[in-house]
Structure 1
Amino acid sequence: MNELNTLERRGLQSICTPDGNMLIVAADQRNGMKAAIKDAPQGSDAISREELAEVKADLVRHLANNAPAILLDPEVALPAIVDAGVLARNTALVVGLDASGFATEDGLKYTRYVDGVTPRTVRDFGGTVAKMLFYTRPDRQGESSRVAQEIRDLVTACEAEGVLLIVELLTYQLADETAEEYAVAFSQLVIDGAALAVACGAKILKLQYPGSAEACAAVTDVAQGVPWAVLSAGVDHETFIGQVSTAVAHGAAGAMAGRSLWKDSLSINAATREELLTGRALPRLRELADAVDGRRH
């Protein structure tokens, strides 16, 4: 197991339920969150940065302040949500380091950092935990690959700063691969990606649901004690609850949920937002908390 240092242990505690399982509301999306605001008069493309910032602030006020932790971006949400006192004192801040979109090289995807954002910036924003997304194809990328070195470098940099790093992995279909071929390979790609990240020093993993109870158990095995959480990947709430329950029963340590909680609970109108977030999204968060703590059967 990749051992946590003292500061990292405190960071992990801050993003967990009282029962010790990870539960983070993900709200670092930018274009994806705009697309979820269906009632914008001129369409999502016309939503300004300021309007999106207000949506994110309300999402924190009415939803995420009821969770152990919130994942926010440093382009729209931060530092304003902290400076304005919107974030509750008992809700931990996870800072997303990855910029929107990706670069492509030799047919493989690579994420980019938000300009000027480093592990030190996480501290400056009031966070103790960082999250970075890495696209992985472990059938093409081994421990000597560019992505493996990028993971190692960021793990080292965050450890030196006393910031806990959540390594998020997304696998994807290649241009020369059919949908059927990718579907067959998917579970093993998630499993092998987890193994690669752990070999590169990752201490916390955020992973796609690998597809089955058996695949979840395999992820737990290759993680070698490194805690892993399931990401919602835009599926509906009931589907995600089932995935989380299965994953937790087979070794997962929690969940990080974004769109499954709030994708149908956003509005350009503040009063409507509050009504939807408190009446629709918040009950989902409570159900998800039961699932990550193994109380939902």
Structure 2
Amino acid sequence: MLRRIQRMSDADGYIRVAAIDHPENYVALFDPDLSKVGFDEVVDSKLELIRGMAPHCSAVLVDPVWSFGQGVLTGSIPGGVGIISGLEQLAYSPAGFGTETVVRPHWTVPVLARLGADGAKLVVFYREEHTDIVATQHELVRGVVAQCREHEVPLIVEPLWYPLEGESLDDPAVRAARVEAIISSAATFTELGADIMKVEFPGYVGTPEGEAEAAEACARLDAAVDVPWVLLSASATFDQFAVQLRIAAEAGACGFMAGRAIWGDGVGRHDAETRARGVRTAAERLDTLADVLRTHARPWREPVSVSEAVEALPADWHEAY
């Protein structure tokens, strides 16, 4: 498992992931009527972005339909770039995704292990107030954790807060409750066995007061987990996400797994130059985020000295592994 986390990290110990595993919401960027978008059109778009972004990230988060196998087969995902894929089956509609936690029946941890993936990701739409649903979700995650331990595949858990009926983020009380839920869910899934937490930003940027509150929330999140944690971009613009990442990195985040904030300008039925410009922009943004990490973050793991390695692994360690 250690080797797989190393492969999804850069040489300095930062996890810099270009996430392009988006399902039908990616397809909808070409045409709201998904039936009018060709399979090959989506594969071509995703691989074009992956080829451009791969030299600028430590790993890619790819889907099983349009990008994992095709990226490997074509060499668009170089051998030195880590590969992560999600286990979840998301139910998409133009209004958004359904909140039920469902895993793909055929895209499983053993399959990912056989294919050489470096990590498995699981999205969990999570509201702890729904105790009956939460119990089922916890049981599902425990099962996935056991599979990942058996096959030595790191598990990345991504809990996502969502509003219940009558809630609005225009309400300061709801905004504050969301922050607390992000921190609490990170602690919960760490306790359940997640190897890496992929979290929403626990706060709001744009004002000095908001950013100070977010910094305090990020510090509490860091104290609540004892595994590496990385930031997702959600609906943030790139400029907003860069600020969020700085704040999170200063508190202890060791990386990011971000998508549309990075590559959103290059997807759709654009001319070749617009698409190429979008790819260049994505690469530049990844480099900017890498600089944020190098300046403000700490790596997910401190290097182990030779003497420490000798003490931890005596001559016969391999016989008992």
Structure 2-normalised TM-score? Answer: 0.81
Aligned position for 1:234: 235
Aligned position for 2:3: 10
Q: Against the structure 1 CA distance between its residues 151 and 294, is the aligned structure 2 distance closer, same or farther, given a 3 Å change threshold? A: farther
Aligned position for 1:276: 277
| Letter aligned with residue 70 of structure 2 | A
Match of 1:197 among 167, 185, 189: 189
Aligned position for 2:165: 175
- Greater per-residue helix proportion: 2
Q: Against the structure 1 CA distance between its residues 141 and 247, is the aligned structure 2 distance closer, same or farther, given a 3 Å change threshold? A: farther
Superposition deviation, residue 78 in structure 1: 2.8
Superposition deviation, residue 65 in structure 1: 3.8
Alignment of 1:1-297 (within 5 A): 8-37=1-30, 46-101=36-91, 109-141=99-131, 145-179=135-169, 180=171, 181-211=173-203, 212-223=214-225, 225-268=226-269, 271-272=272-273, 274-294=275-295
Superposition deviation, residue 10 in structure 1: 1.2
Are the counterparts in 2 of residues 148 and 196 from structure 1 also a CA contact under 8 Å? no
Number of residue pairs matched by the alignment: 281
Are the counterparts in 2 of residues 63 and 277 from structure 1 also a CA contact under 8 Å? no
Q: Against the structure 1 CA distance between its residues 80 and 200, is the aligned structure 2 distance closer, same or farther, given a 3 Å change threshold? A: same
Q: Against the structure 1 CA distance between its residues 219 and 142, is the aligned structure 2 distance closer, same or farther, given a 3 Å change threshold? A: farther
Q: Which moved more, 1:49-58 or 1:141-150?
A: 141-150
Q: Which moved more, 1:17-26 or 1:235-244?
A: 17-26
How far apart are the structure 1 equivalents of 2:132 and 2:217? Answer: 21
Aligned position for 2:304: none
- Which segments of 5 or more consecutive residues in structure 2 lack a partner in the other structure? 93-97, 204-213, 298-321
Superposition deviation, residue 55 in structure 1: 0.8
SS at match of 1:79: helix
How far apart are the structure 2 equivalents of 1:144 and 1:113? Answer: 16
Are the counterparts in 1 of residues 263 and 279 from structure 2 also a CA contact under 8 Å? no
Q: Against the structure 1 CA distance between its residues 144 and 277, is the aligned structure 2 distance closer, same or farther, given a 3 Å change threshold? A: closer
SS at match of 1:277: helix
How far apart are the structure 2 equivalents of 1:65 and 1:277? Answer: 15
How far apart are the structure 2 equivalents of 1:160 and 1:12? Answer: 16
How far apart are the structure 1 equivalents of 2:39 and 2:110? Answer: 25
Superposition deviation, residue 93 in structure 1: 0.7
Superposition deviation, residue 141 in structure 1: 4.0
Structure 1-normalised TM-score? Answer: 0.87
Q: Which moved more, 1:140-149 or 1:230-239?
A: 140-149
Q: Against the structure 1 CA distance between its residues 109 and 275, is the aligned structure 2 distance closer, same or farther, given a 3 Å change threshold? A: closer
Q: Which structure 1 residue ranges, 4+ long, deviate > 3 Å from structure 2?
A: 42-45, 139-144, 176-179, 267-270
Superposition deviation, residue 73 in structure 1: 0.6
How far apart are the structure 1 equivalents of 2:99 and 2:270? Answer: 36
Superposition deviation, residue 45 in structure 1: 5.2
Superposition deviation, residue 159 in structure 1: 1.1
How far apart are the structure 2 equivalents of 1:236 and 1:153? Answer: 35
Q: Against the structure 1 CA distance between its residues 144 and 73, is the aligned structure 2 distance closer, same or farther, given a 3 Å change threshold? A: closer
Aligned position for 1:3: none
Superposition deviation, residue 279 in structure 1: 2.6
Q: Which moved more, 1:265-274 or 1:120-129?
A: 265-274
Are the counterparts in 1 of residues 52 and 280 from structure 2 also a CA contact under 8 Å? no
How far apart are the structure 2 equivalents of 1:261 and 1:44? Answer: 23
How far apart are the structure 1 equivalents of 2:34 and 2:55? Answer: 26
Higher RCO, 1 vs 2 (CA within 8 Å, ≥6 residues apart):
1
How far apart are the structure 2 equivalents of 1:63 and 1:74? Answer: 19
Superposition deviation, residue 35 in structure 1: 3.2
- Root-mean-square deviation (Å): 2.4
How far apart are the structure 1 equivalents of 2:72 and 2:78? Answer: 9
Q: Against the structure 1 CA distance between its residues 270 and 67, is the aligned structure 2 distance closer, same or farther, given a 3 Å change threshold? A: farther
Q: Against the structure 1 CA distance between its residues 44 and 235, is the aligned structure 2 distance closer, same or farther, given a 3 Å change threshold? A: farther
How far apart are the structure 2 equivalents of 1:22 and 1:148? Answer: 26
Q: Which moved more, 1:271-280 or 1:225-234?
A: 271-280
Identity rate, percent: 28
SS at match of 2:99: strand
How far apart are the structure 2 equivalents of 1:65 and 1:100? Answer: 29
